[in-house]
Amino acid sequence: MEHRLVITPRAAALAGRLPAGDLPSYLYDLAALGEHARAVRAALPESVELSYAAKANPAPEILTALAPYVSGYEVSSGGELAHVREAVPGLPLAFGGPGKTEDELRLALGLRTERIHAESESELRLLAALAAERPGDAPVDVLLRVNLPAGDGELGGAALAMGGRPSPFGLDPRRAEACLPLLRGTRLRLRGIHAHLASGLDAPALLAVAARVTAWARALDERHGLGLTEVNVGGGMAVDYARPHARFDWAAYGAGLAALAAGHPGYRLRIEPGRALTAHSGWYVTEVLDIKHSHGEAFAVVRGGTHHLRTPAAKGHDQPFTVLPTDAWERPWPRPAALDEPVTISGQLCTPKDVLARAVPVAELRAGDRIAFAMAGAYAWNISHHDFLMHPAPTFHFLS
């Protein structure tokens, strides 16, 4: 189905009146984003900290719009660390990710990064050695990222699994014990445990993960008298590209976290969603260049493509969209059109993989019409292969 009105009225109005030379364009509705983040924050118990995983969309305007509602940001590289520190100075950062380099860890120490999520014994040793070179600094607060085995069927619904099975992410829980002696006598302070096992889970599945991670942290804490104070249960809240009006059930998740927190006094719980915070507040707007029929099927070729919006190619879905009809057809020949039939929407790249939506029924689509692809506020422009074929970059508009 073509999805009518999967766009806010303000974004639709701007999408319709942008000069043709501005297309393709990414539009972000920062007011809608702020309203969504406010509602997410309100659904969570006060004691739970909400961080934003910057890799979902690190645009400074997005980071700033979220700032009133989050207590910090999760960053996954030295580049993100420096960028987010500059965009939203003064807000706490947690630095995670596998394969942190010596330079990145030095940068993290230099920028006084509030939390470092250590992903291996070797990384912990390197961090301890680098921290020892800075005896004047405050101790470095560290969480161990663990890759706990998943409960039965728990990650079955996940779009992407980073853990719960063999993976390069985090520590095997059996190795966590071996990390504890490495911390002794160092300038590192073990604050707690971090886990981010999968993306694309619903609230009950994520609550089961959170409960298991927290119970595991407590058991480790009690076995060794560690005095842990924090458990970061990760992000991964589901975004359903087939149901663009649906939202993750933040109310149920918040209620479940409140119960979990009540059962673990002394532990501060933290979550770090990316996609579910920003996906719904961005659109990729473009125009139909041509429509043709090939071996009985209709194809609409749009300006731009998956080198700007790689999400549908990367995840294998149809990107939901709204057609914004235009009357502008000034050519002296008939306007190419598809009428009441399934249309495959492809881009300008010379590869059959450049498909944004496949065989989607539309009432009417004509060359010159505009299309606003929804759910393009996360893992969209910033995961795309911009340089392939050397087409011009899109423009960016942030509606405040």
Ligand X SMILES: *Cc1c(COP(=O)(O)O)cnc(C)c1O
Q: Which residues are catalytic?
A: 350
- Assess 58 for contact with ligand X (CB under 6 A): no
Regarding 377 and contact with ligand X (CB under 6 A), the answer is no
Binds ligand X by CB under 6 A, chosen from 3, 196, 303, 308: 196
Stretch touching ligand X by CB under 6 A, among 213-221, 273-281, 294-302, 365-373: 273-281
Cα separation, 31 vs 42, whole angstroms: 16
Which residue is closest to ligand X by CB?
274
Our finding on whether 115 is near ligand X (CB under 6 A) is no
Contact between 234 and ligand X by CB under 6 A: the answer reads yes
Tell the smallest beta-carbon distance from residue 295 to ligand X (Å): 38
Between residue 128 and residue 187, which ones bind ligand X under the rule CB under 6 A? none
Residue 192 binds ligand X (CB under 6 A):
no
Residue (56 or 376) nearer to ligand X, CB = 56
Using CA atoms, how far apart are residues 312 and 384, in angstroms rounded to an integer? 11
HEC profile for the chain?
Answer: CCCCCCCCHHHHHHHHHCCHHHCCEEEEEHHHHHHHHHHHHHHCCCCCEEEEEHHHCCCHHHHHHHCCCCCEEEECCHHHHHHHHHHCCCCCEEECCCCCCHHHHHHHHHCCCCEEEECCHHHHHHHHHHHHCCCCCCCEEEEEEECCCCCCCCCCCCCEECCCCCCCCCECHHHHHHHHHHHCCCCEEEEEEECCCEECECHHHHHHHHHHHHHHHHHHHHHHCCCCCEEECCCCECCCCCCCCCCCCHHHHHHHHHHHHHHCCCCEEEECCCHHHHHHHEEEEEEEEEEEEECCEEEEEECCCCCCCCHHHHHCCCCCEEEECCCCCCCCCCCCEEEEEEEEEECCCCCCCCEEEEEEEEEEEECCCEEEECCCCCCCHHHCCCCHHHCCCCEEEEEC
Size of interface with ligand X, in residues (CB under 6 A): 17
Query: Using CB under 6 A, which of 3, 55, 212, 308 touches ligand X?
Result: 55
Does 76 bind ligand X (CB under 6 A)? Our answer is yes
For residue 369, the minimal CB distance to ligand X (Å) is 32
Choose the stretch contacting ligand X; rule: CB under 6 A; options: 65-73, 176-184, 230-238, 261-269.
230-238
Task: Evaluate the CA torsion angle 77, 191, 229, 193 in order and state its sign.
Answer: positive
| Closest distance to ligand X from the beta carbon of 332 (Å) | 49
Per CB under 6 A, 235 contacts ligand X: yes
Token pair 């505009």 is at which residue?
A: 370
Selected binder of ligand X within 164, 273, 304, 336 (CB under 6 A):
273
Looking at this protein, which amino acid is placed at residue 366?
Answer: R
Residue 153 Cβ vs ligand X, minimum distance, rounded to whole Å: 19
Q: Which is nearer to ligand X, 275 or 308 (CB)?
A: 275
Q: Single out the residue of 191, 275, 303, 397 in contact with ligand X (rule: CB under 6 A).
A: 275
Identified binder of ligand X from the candidate list 12, 15, 33, 56, rule CB under 6 A: 56
Q: How many CB atoms sit inside 10 A of residue 393's CB?
A: 13
Q: Provide, rounded to whole angstroms, the least separation between the CB of residue 395 and ligand X.
A: 25
- Select 119 or 318, whichever has its Cβ closest to ligand X: 119
Cβ-based nearer residue to ligand X, 84 or 276:
276
Least distance (Å) between residue 53 CB and ligand X = 3
Q: Rounded to the nearest whole angstrom, what is the least distance from the CB of residue 301 to ligand X in the complex?
A: 31
Residues in 30-49 at the binding interface with ligand X, rule: CB under 6 A? none
Q: Which residues bind ligand X (CB under 6 A)?
A: 53, 55-56, 74, 76, 96, 196, 199, 234-237, 272-276
